[in-house]
Amino acid sequence: MKTFLNSMLLLVFLIPTVMWSQTTVSGTVTDQANVPLPGVNILIKGTATGTTTDFDGNYSISLKNGDIVVFSYVGFKPQEMSYNGQRPFNVVLIEDAAQLDEIVLIGYGVQKKSKVLGNAVRINSEDLKDTPVPSIDAALQGKAAGVQVIQGSGLAGSANIVRIRGISSISAGGDPLYVVDGIPITQDYFLQGDSNGQNNNPLASLNQNDIESIEVLKDAAAAGIYGSRGANGVILIKTKRGKEGLKFSYTGSVSTSDPTYNPQVLNNQDLLKVYQEAWENDGNTGLVPLPRGISWEQALNTNTDWVDLVTKTGISNRHSFSVNYGKSKLKTYLNLSYDDTESFIINDEYKRLSGRFNLDYQIFKNLKLGINSSLTRGVYDKVNINDTWRNAQSFSLPFYSPFKTNGDVDNTFANPLVELRYRDRRSEEMRSINSIAIDFQPIENLYLRGTASLDYMDFRDYYWQSLEIGRIDGTPEEEQNTYASETPFFVTNYNTNFTASYLWDLNDKNSFNFLLGTEYQRSERLLYRFGNPEGFINSPVPLYESDAPDFERESTGKSAFSFASYFGRVSYSFNDALDLMALARIDGSSRFGENNRYGFFPTFSAAYNFSKHDFIKNSKAISFFKIKSSYGITGNSEIGNDSRFGAFSIPNSGNVYLGKEYKSIIRLDNPDLKWETAQTVDFGVELNLFNNRIETELSGYYKKSKDVLLDLFQIPSSGFGESLWLNAAEIENKGVEFNITSKNIVSNNFSWTTTFNIAHNANKLISLGGVSPDLLEGGFNDTRVIEGQPIGTNYLVRFARVDQTDGLPIFLDKEGNETKTFDLANRVSAGSVIPDATGGFGNKFKYKNWGLDTDFVFTIGGNIYDSFAKRALGTFIDGDSNTTNVRTDIYDRWRNPGDVTNQPRLFYDHSQVQGLSSVWQYNHTGFLYDASYLRLRNITVSYSIPSSFLNGTGLSSFKVALTGSNLFTWTKFPGGDPEIARDFQFQRDRNLSPNVSYLSVPQAKSFTFIINATF
């Protein structure tokens, strides 16, 4: 037992030690197919002496006769070999059906998978598909039960939404904590504030080629060590590190990108018919007057396909070159990548150049230095989605011409060409994440680790518009002039942590593992505003191209937060069967009010492994059986940095009235402001069958969140204009998750593995702490929080049916009686934003050198609210500037008495619907759709050229693959892509409104051809 633990520890801390030599023996480690295995751990049993194989599976080590050598490698059964003078000392490892002894990351350390008490899911680099989405969290989709990933959209710089085990926050960020190589990185999606819904993606600078593995910590036992920031789960990302040997690797790919959904809108002829019908329905006679004074003759002769004007097939290229070098004490990994990602929207392109350098150096046998360094430059050339994608299918009518008769771009209506030709939007990001770590083992079984890191982000947003934008009658309008601005942000985030862990094996059966640690983090964001009062300058070119110095920038101070934390963990293991763990973290943060400066977050967990019991040992079916449970308290601290302070407006702001300075109160202080508290109870069963060929895990959880943060608009009569953060609401989440991995066929030439996972989450707002839900309203999306309902409930007037006789819509009032009057007072919570179940399944086939992977994702139940359907279904034409195009499902409308349909007659004027004061308020359940879908997320065919063909070419491997993404989707939603991550305005919007569509940009359908070569 003790020796086993020792060897484990060495594995864990990767501290090979050097011993005096006797005979140097070398050999090769291969798998059953004779493929060399790089990175195999080799250890002389009973000692701390070991080494690893290089890329060609070669190793050398000093042995004496009689030494027992242990060869272990992830995914293979460890093998013990006795050395009796064999030269070369070659070993063949046998694949292990169940990778139980995989080493997985846990918070502040690693752990043998079989010993993990918490609920965590791991994604390895091989599952990170090279698709044109510059966000690595996409790889998690459908892979982990209870981890809901909604891919942003097909836009090149789009950010995803990851929600672990439901939504338990309202105003505070509900995203998991992202920790890269031990560093909680800057992950604010709203650095630019509400940037017209197109938020920056803080994960865009992480290069997927650098990722070794991603670990998702779901429950308190796993995430509890992150204390006040663990309540929404934690995502641990580990980057690749150097291995023994010298190896070069190149991966290149080219992708196409097309929308998964092409807007189905009317052409000029059909739209004119619809208008005329609406006009006559309202009791008017004659030809309907067309918007902007366009004549019927013009309209009949103009048919612009606006969607075609703003879209294209995007072509993306990616290149990644890496060098691995490792020899005795020094191991390095170096990567250089360049990506150019184009979406299907014209002028939407993300370019990224990134480099990474990781180094490990064994200074002494008990002292190791590790360095991680990455530098990324991202350039996102973007367009405003309202002005292009949305207008193209709505406010830009098919009978409008893009050009005036003199050839100018027509700027007198919502013309997408104005955006495409005369405006320039760009974000530039320079991001560098660096850390240095020292591992020190002063005495046996005591491991000290100190890490210091720096995450720096230089983010600049540019906007420019051309002189041409105000072109009138052939000449640019001088008055308008150009408009150029630059908005920079600089975020410096540094982190230090120290941990000490000690292993104590009391005897063969009882062992302890202690961890003590402290961590300090500080993140500082420098704030600027544009120097001159207008907020822009005149410039003939965008400012990123201009030589103009940065003098236009004026500092407006900084916003910072800091965390100081102390944590400890005690694990106890009895007889390899019972595992107990207790951990606690104390978190203090500058964000918390002075009455609540420090929070205490304990977690307890227990697991019992029945595998050693006879009934398992004797069972032919069951090969592994473990139950586990945990209880813990975690928090969410995504509060605004300065929210706890009472404040008066900017000092010396230059605000004057009657020649005197004025200054007003902004908000009162909240000394009680603190984290959200989540109490989670978790229960899980792991059951493996048939010699671990089938692995299953079933878990259930109950999570109650208290003191949930509300960023409350203050009641207007309070006079405060700014919202106030307070801890008020209470939320409950409960759910079950199941996943299964089955190695259906495992043979030398052919293998087939199936994975399946499904999760159900039920979410309920228990209490809003007595505040008006209207004070939380304010995003684009009309979902809200209602006590007793899930977070983010649609609040709509109920639509009952269409009156067959006159085609008018019939609604239900609050009591459920039919009425033809539309009254917002009759709104009720309706539908469900949260699906009944989400999940994914996949199959992996391997035949000799061929591979075929398919990944499906699905959502069952829940509703999408199509917020633009009130216009897109042609219900109202409504005069001049408000006029929109309509969707082709308008053909199902009521036309004549007796028609049975769910679509009312056309209306020219919204006042035809009694009680409706504005067309934009026409939200009702008729536009609520089933959100279920099944999507073929990925299908990949790959082929590795057999190594025998590569002899003499210098290549050690060569692989080609073709991946198709989002090729097929099965859905009942008529309004677009059923996977919606709308253009969120702020965190609450991200939490509350994932399933509200408003001409949302669909996902990309893409084909990617990938080559990978190593030499």
Partner 1 sequence: MKRNIKLLLGLFFSISLFVSCDLEELPENVDIVGPTSLADLEALLNAGYNNLGWPLGGNAQLYAEINGDNINGPGGLNSDETEIYNRSTSFFNNSIRDNMYRGFYRIVLDANVVLNQIENNLDAIGVTETNARIQEIKGEALLLRAIAHFEVSRFMSHSPGFSSDNSHLGIQYIKEINNAIGQTRGTVAENYADLLSDLKEAESLLNTTNSSDQNYGDKAAAQAYLAKVFFQAGFGPDIATEGSNYQMAYNYADAALMNTSAVFDVNLYQGGATGTERFAGNLLDNNNTESPNVETIFGIVSESIANSKGGTFQRYRTDTSISNTTIRIMQDLYNSIPSTDKRKDLLEEIDGEYFLLKFNKGIFNVPLVHYTEILLIRAEAAAETNSLLLAEDDINSILERAGLSTISGLSQSQLINLIREQRRIELLGEGNRVSDLKRIGIDENSLTIRNAPWNCNGILFQFPATEVFTGFIQNPTGGCN
Contacting partner 1 within 339-358 (CB under 8 A): none
Cα–Cα distance, 777 to 782 (Å, whole number): 7
Query: CB pairs under 8 A, 24+ apart, for 474-482?
Result: 474/406, 474/407, 474/408, 481/538, 482/538, 482/539, 482/540
* Contacts of 858 by beta carbon, 8 Å cutoff, 6+ apart: 142, 837, 838, 839, 840, 841, 932, 933, 934, 935
Q: Does 767 bind partner 1 (CB under 8 A)?
A: no
Q: Of 514-522, 934-942, 943-951, 1002-1010, which segment contacts partner 1 by CB under 8 A?
A: 514-522
CA 844 to chain centre: 24
Q: Of 319-327, 443-451, 576-584, 986-994, which segment contacts partner 1 by CB under 8 A?
A: 443-451
- Longest distance between any two alpha carbons in the chain, whole Å: 105
Cα–Cα distance, 159 to 136 (Å, whole number): 10
Nearest to 359 by CA among 386, 325, 322: 325
CB of 710 to partner 1, least distance (A): 9
* The only residue of 306, 561, 868, 927 in contact with partner 1, by rule CB under 8 A: 561
Q: Which is nearer to partner 1, 58 or 921 (CB)?
A: 921
Count of positions on this chain that bind partner 1 (CB under 8 A): 75
* The only residue of 556, 747, 805, 951 in contact with partner 1, by rule CB under 8 A: 556
Q: Does 412 bind partner 1 (CB under 8 A)?
A: no
* The only residue of 296, 645, 683, 986 in contact with partner 1, by rule CB under 8 A: 645
Contacting partner 1 within 686-705 (CB under 8 A): none
Q: Of 126-134, 330-338, 714-722, 744-752, which segment contacts partner 1 by CB under 8 A?
A: 714-722
Cα–Cα distance, 766 to 730 (Å, whole number): 5
Q: Of 150-158, 161-169, 235-243, 585-593, which segment contacts partner 1 by CB under 8 A?
A: 585-593
Q: Of 600-608, 678-686, 688-696, 720-728, which segment contacts partner 1 by CB under 8 A?
A: 720-728
Q: Does 82 bind partner 1 (CB under 8 A)?
A: no
Query: How many helices (H) and strands (E) would you count in the chain?
Result: 11, 51
* The only residue of 549, 770, 898, 952 in contact with partner 1, by rule CB under 8 A: 770
7 DSSP assignment: H
* The only residue of 37, 149, 237, 712 in contact with partner 1, by rule CB under 8 A: 712
Nearest to 274 by CA among 806, 974, 888: 888
Instruction: Return the number of other C-beta atoms located less than 10 Å from residue 706's C-beta.
Output: 16
Q: Of 84-92, 183-191, 649-657, 849-857, which segment contacts partner 1 by CB under 8 A?
A: 649-657
Dump the DSSP string for 814-875: TTS-EES---GGGEEEES-SS-SEEEEEEEEEEETTEEEEEEEEEEES-EEEETTHHHHT-S
Contacting partner 1 within 198-227 (CB under 8 A): none
Contacting partner 1 within 490-509 (CB under 8 A): 496-498, 500
Q: Does 21 bind partner 1 (CB under 8 A)?
A: no
CA 158, 162, 166, 167: dihedral to nearest 10 degrees? -60
**What region, left, alpha or beta, does residue 851 occupy, with left being phi > 0 and alpha being psi -120 to 50 degrees?**
beta
Whether residue 926 contacts residue 799, with contact meaning beta carbons closer than 8 Å, is answered with: yes
Q: Of 104-112, 134-142, 414-422, 644-652, which segment contacts partner 1 by CB under 8 A?
A: 644-652
Whether residue 500 contacts residue 441, with contact meaning beta carbons closer than 8 Å, is answered with: no
Q: Does 884 bind partner 1 (CB under 8 A)?
A: no
User: What residues does 740 pair with on adjacent strands?
Assistant: 696, 756
Q: Of 161-169, 660-668, 746-754, 996-1004, which segment contacts partner 1 by CB under 8 A?
A: 660-668
CB of 567 to partner 1, least distance (A): 12
User: What residues does 358 pair with on adjacent strands?
Assistant: 333, 372
Helix, strand, or coil (residue 540)? coil
Q: Which is nearer to partner 1, 504 or 949 (CB)?
A: 504
CB of 723 to partner 1, least distance (A): 9
Q: Which is nearer to partner 1, 543 or 765 (CB)?
A: 765
Q: Does 662 bind partner 1 (CB under 8 A)?
A: yes
* The only residue of 560, 950, 955, 962 in contact with partner 1, by rule CB under 8 A: 560
Q: Does 150 bind partner 1 (CB under 8 A)?
A: no
Residue for token pair 């530039």: 428
CA atoms within 13 A on the CB side of 809: 32
**What region, left, alpha or beta, does residue 224 occupy, with left being phi > 0 and alpha being psi -120 to 50 degrees?**
alpha
Q: Of 393-401, 710-718, 744-752, 961-969, which segment contacts partner 1 by CB under 8 A?
A: 710-718
* The only residue of 235, 607, 771, 785 in contact with partner 1, by rule CB under 8 A: 771
> Which tokens hold the place of 198?
């197109």
CB of 879 to partner 1, least distance (A): 10
Binding track over 893-932 against partner 1, x by CB under 8 A:
------------------------xx--x-----------
Q: Does 445 bind partner 1 (CB under 8 A)?
A: no
* Contacts of 270 by beta carbon, 8 Å cutoff, 6+ apart: none
Q: Does 405 bind partner 1 (CB under 8 A)?
A: no
Whether residue 771 contacts residue 728, with contact meaning beta carbons closer than 8 Å, is answered with: yes
Cα–Cα distance, 10 to 982 (Å, whole number): 47
Binding track over 595-624 against partner 1, x by CB under 8 A:
--x---------------------------
CB of 904 to partner 1, least distance (A): 21
Binding track over 515-534 against partner 1, x by CB under 8 A:
---xxx------x-----x-
Contacting partner 1 within 454-473 (CB under 8 A): none
Cα–Cα distance, 759 to 148 (Å, whole number): 9
Q: Does 641 bind partner 1 (CB under 8 A)?
A: yes
Q: Does 365 bind partner 1 (CB under 8 A)?
A: no
CB of 771 to partner 1, least distance (A): 7
Whether residue 565 contacts residue 585, with contact meaning beta carbons closer than 8 Å, is answered with: yes
Binding track over 815-854 against partner 1, x by CB under 8 A:
---------xx-----------------------------
Nearest to 722 by CA among 661, 804, 649: 649
Q: Of 125-133, 185-193, 701-709, 765-773, which segment contacts partner 1 by CB under 8 A?
A: 765-773
Nearest to 422 by CA among 399, 457, 388: 388
Q: Which is nearer to partner 1, 566 or 845 (CB)?
A: 566
Q: Of 100-108, 664-672, 695-703, 992-1000, which segment contacts partner 1 by CB under 8 A?
A: 664-672
Q: Does 94 bind partner 1 (CB under 8 A)?
A: no
Q: Of 197-205, 269-277, 541-549, 586-594, which segment contacts partner 1 by CB under 8 A?
A: 586-594
Q: How far is CA 996 from CA 257, 262, 291, 783, in A?
A: 24, 18, 29, 8
Whether residue 976 contacts residue 929, with contact meaning beta carbons closer than 8 Å, is answered with: no
Q: Does 660 bind partner 1 (CB under 8 A)?
A: yes
